[in-house]
Structure 1
């Protein structure tokens, strides 16, 4: 029998162009007076645009303008960026980090610069691989995040970090936990199964919920630093987008500031109500085989990340794009095709893209009160804090909790459970009464122009009767925010 020999192909051959012609990063501080221009050119690959946008947004940089162009397997991206104070980038360490991070095509360098200049205090863990990651999705209800926190405390899990989003009656949460007694990852399969069963019961407590709408996915993370599981390999905020997409939060009712059919020409930049509306619409560019997705909405940080993330996770490729802003309003235009090379052909597909982009823009916007506090970390702390909020009529609609050394840094977005605006008099009284051992930072993010409901019951939000007795026993665990 003749022996059949096949030619040998180096398995690394497919990535050879990428390794030879990797991203070239040019940072220009001379061309523009009010911003830094970041130019990147490289061999094109799916997901690379998102990786670059993620690098910039994770450093709290604002992308005020961007131009994306891709042709014949190559791309050129231009970003106009400012720091969190609205200034050019002048710190050479920051510039070097951007060049290094983007230049390694998404393999973020593990250097001291990364820990210093990326937003790890609230949005990411410095050592996520040392903990067990648990993903949760389900139908939201007032107090659900508090119940989840209490359940994990009952299971002797120390919550090292947690991120939760709620939108259109859906909740997505990613929590990093360790064993209460040993402070090590939880890797026992039996205990993981117990945690899953317990929290699934909590999530299914809403009678109207279908079982298919709830799932929990505990992911074991090895203590030696080699993580496994999508929620660790993926940026946490991107994972939250994916989880929300998986439970179809885009099928819920649009928020008060959303409009699915309004063309950009109908959105007035001058009137206040127009600036609060979001319009997503799709046109066809038949001669080039693209679908043109246009987004007009109120500008905010991380907006480009949210839209690019959603398009990428829906398996669309961005070939060309133009992003800009006019005052407080942003407009984005993407020339896309599906990953199979085809444009959006059916009305159903177009409607789904519109709804998913609207949901991606809306789910990060919280019109309410942002409450920040810093506390000496201990098991059950998050459960105690959220329970106090719940018992006083406040629902947590978004949360970011992280641990920095011996401290727990918490940021909560709150709404009144009854659906009314949070009474700022109540918040201010809380801030005044618990200054000293407990220090809070409060920000009113509400964009509503309607006045607060008159004649609110003073006893309902009386800290003397409701909060003081509950927080008094916790006060010695709090430390002032630096």
Structure 2
């Protein structure tokens, strides 16, 4: 006779040991400490990092451990201005998303499945969410100059109102998630087949050949948008389409600037150890943890720090079945992490547009960009109320630096209907401009050298 197991036992444990979060602004003079304690669940690290990343908080240092049944994290964070997190709304959001009343331990969301990864329904944009009926359109395929302009033109022609969109390009490939509703009804698209057919033709360049996929996803099954973009582009790595650097001009990373990723075996604790060194930037930890989670690896320990302008990460991982990585697996992890780290790196200019939303606005803006010989490498489109807030990362299609005459031409054409702010994206060889913890006066904005805690050294001491 099998022993009796109470199905409510796990839920009971969660009720008596709910997640706890502490926002500490007193311990460190230059940053805020976010401390999270919880029962351990597969995928919980991604959930926590995702909450902080969605609030545009920069993680300058972190210590992560989840041995056994308990999960404990400490994150050193600053806001976009490099200051402590003191905004009451932001603090309340973190406490709600990671504290006792959160869904941090809830079912599929915490398990890191394809449909989880978000503490709020729908597509989150920072602290905003898309509500109401809408249809999510996913596109993936070969990139080319003017492609985004063609996509938005088709959507406008077919009566689709774009509520939000995220576009990534990397190594001559594009992935895009667009959220739309019907202009006439304000509801989700009733028959998406005709839109799908037109977009397939656009992605295929108008040729009647086997075409790249276009998928329609119901809002209820929506994955966190950044995670979904990683998944779409990660499929290209598995298909062998993401190999080799196919980047021109300003967007190319120099050989010395490419991420350095290695995988070793830690005999002391029977872990595979992933070491990463690359240019430090926002959402770096999210991109790495997201990739490892979707590859079905569990991060049991990790330490994150900075050294000059570089980010250093040391992650102790195993497969979900508890085994360490084989040699062929290690090579694939390295390849996929290098791609994931590079996808969010952009150079050139950012165009920040703010104005009253209308059908066809994105089509008009991207058409102007194409007419000026500019290609969009990334885009973030958001609608808040009746206001459209759009950010485009652009560079010259020929690989040459964007001249100021082109920029002034854009101001004349686009600036007549919306507010336009043009910013130069810092070069990958330039120091980070935001002040982060430990930065010394006169450092030119670079990340200062800080101590780097290694779990490897700790394990060695424990064994001794």
TM-score interval, normalised by the smaller of the two chains: 0.7 to 0.9
Q: Quick check: 1:258–1:279 contact (8 Å CA) kept in 2?
A: no
Q: Quick check: 1:123–1:400 contact (8 Å CA) kept in 2?
A: no
Alignment counterpart, residue 229 of structure 2, candidates 226, 236, 240: 240
TM-score (normalizing by structure 2) = 0.81
Alignment counterpart, residue 447 of structure 1, candidates 424, 427, 431: 427
Secondary structure of the equivalent of 1:71? coil
Q: Quick check: 2:356–2:418 contact (8 Å CA) kept in 1?
A: no
Secondary structure of the equivalent of 1:130? coil
Range moving further from structure 2, 124-133 or 165-174 = 124-133
Alignment counterpart, residue 56 of structure 1, candidates 23, 33, 52: 52
Range moving further from structure 2, 98-107 or 389-398 = 98-107
Shift of residue 355 of structure 1?
Answer: 1.2
Residue matched to 2:379: 399
Residue matched to 2:307: 326
Tell me which of the two structures has the higher relative contact order, counting C-alpha pairs closer than 8 angstroms and 6 or more residues apart.
Answer: 2
Q: Which runs of 5+ in 2 are unaligned?
A: 110-118, 431-464
Q: Is 1:78 matched with 2:58?
A: no
Structure-1 separation of matches of 2:96 and 2:195: 40
Alignment counterpart, residue 381 of structure 1, candidates 349, 361, 386: 361
Structure-2 separation of matches of 1:392 and 1:157: 26
Structure-2 separation of matches of 1:124 and 1:385: 26
Secondary structure of the equivalent of 2:29? coil
Q: Is 1:165 matched with 2:168?
A: yes
Structure-2 separation of matches of 1:243 and 1:8: 43
Q: What CA deviation, in whole Å up to 9, does each residue of 1:211-232 have, x standing for no partner?
A: 47x21111234xxxxx2x2xx2
Q: What CA deviation, in whole Å up to 9, does each residue of 1:228-276 have, x standing for no partner?
A: x2xx2x21111111111123264242764265xxxxxxxxxxxxxx5x3
Range moving further from structure 2, 131-140 or 420-429 = 420-429
Structure-2 separation of matches of 1:205 and 1:437: 30
Distance change >3 Å, CA 441–CA 433, structure 1 → 2? same
Runs of 4 or more consecutive aligned structure 1 residues displaced over 6 Å after TM superposition: 5-8
TM-score (normalizing by structure 1) = 0.78
Q: Quick check: 1:53–1:305 contact (8 Å CA) kept in 2?
A: yes
Shift of residue 414 of structure 1?
Answer: 0.6
Secondary structure of the equivalent of 1:447? coil
Shift of residue 329 of structure 1?
Answer: 1.4
**What are the within-5 Å matches in structure 2 for residues 7-156 of structure 1?**
10-103=6-99, 104-106=102-104, 126-156=129-159
Structure-2 separation of matches of 1:235 and 1:176: 13
Alignment RMSD: 2.7
Q: Quick check: 1:39–1:78 contact (8 Å CA) kept in 2?
A: yes
Question: Aligned pair count?
Answer: 407
